[in-house]
A = this chain, B = another copy of it.
Amino acid sequence: MARTAAAMIIGNELLSGKVRDANTQVLARELRALGVELRRVVVVPDEVPEIARELCSLRGTHDLVFTSGGVGPTHDDVTVEGIALGLGRRVERHEGIVRFLQEHLGPRCTEGHLAMARVVEGTELVGLDARWPAMVLGNVVVLPGVPESFASGLKALREHLRGDEAPYVLLEVLVAVDEGTIKPALDAVVLAFPDVSVGSYPRYDTSAHKVRVTFDGRDPARVRAAYEAFARSLDPEHLVR
């Protein structure tokens, strides 16, 4: 069985519309390449009990849980405390991060900066060299919310996360007519290829295609067969690509 994953995106800035989340898409794509299925994303506020409760719920039902955000030094950075509460562990100061901060900041390093060295007891750090590390606690991975740091942390984790799943492959057909018109052809391919995930995404702008139909799966031959069966079943005039 392929592994499943969930993400907890932490931050009032997302729930108040100040910021549009970019990390879910980066995580989703990274996991697809690893063959891991992202099943759920939850956005929660900067509140310790909410983070703790959601962590417990997600890690019991998914093989991997990723968190984004809330690991800075300020009052609204409460991810470490939330995860500690959820796992029933203490928060401690990590001497490796203290040294990292002191080396990088030099004489500018204050007690305020060292608040970033708080970790949950038992945390394994991955990639603490040039950049901020990912924190790993069993099946829980804690990443910063700033998009560049989130992406670089995930990249540092790539080998750590690699399993024996085949990566997902994706093929797509662009169609010039609407979803209602292609519904019979879609239903037929969905029925014939239960092992391929078929998606249908309409658009209502002036683009040349009205629907993007996608075929996803871990078996490239089956994905291609579904894609070809669908493309063949359409009126050639309805195909954009």
In contact, B39 and A41 (Cβ under 8 angstroms): no
* Count of residues in A whose CB is under 8 Å from the partner chain: 69
- In chain B, what residue has the closest Cβ to A43? B41
Given the known interface contacts A14-B24, A39-B15, A199-B13, the answer about A72 and B108 at a Cβ–Cβ threshold of 8 Å is: no
| A101-116 contacts to B (CB < 8 Å) | 105, 108-110, 112-116
Given the known interface contacts A43-B41, A146-B204, the answer about A75 and B198 at a Cβ–Cβ threshold of 8 Å is: yes
Given contacts A15-B40, A112-B184, A146-B204, 9 further A-B contacts (CB under 8 A): A14-B25, A15-B38, A18-B199, A40-B45, A74-B179, A76-B198, A112-B182, A113-B178, A148-B204
> What residues of chain A have their CB less than 8 Å away from a CB belonging to chain B?
12-22, 24-29, 31-32, 37-45, 72-77, 105, 108-110, 112-116, 146, 148-149, 168, 170, 178-184, 186-187, 190, 197-205, 214, 216
Which 7 pairs from chain A and chain B are nearest by CB? Answer: A113-B180, A17-B28, A112-B183, A41-B43, A17-B29, A112-B180, A74-B200
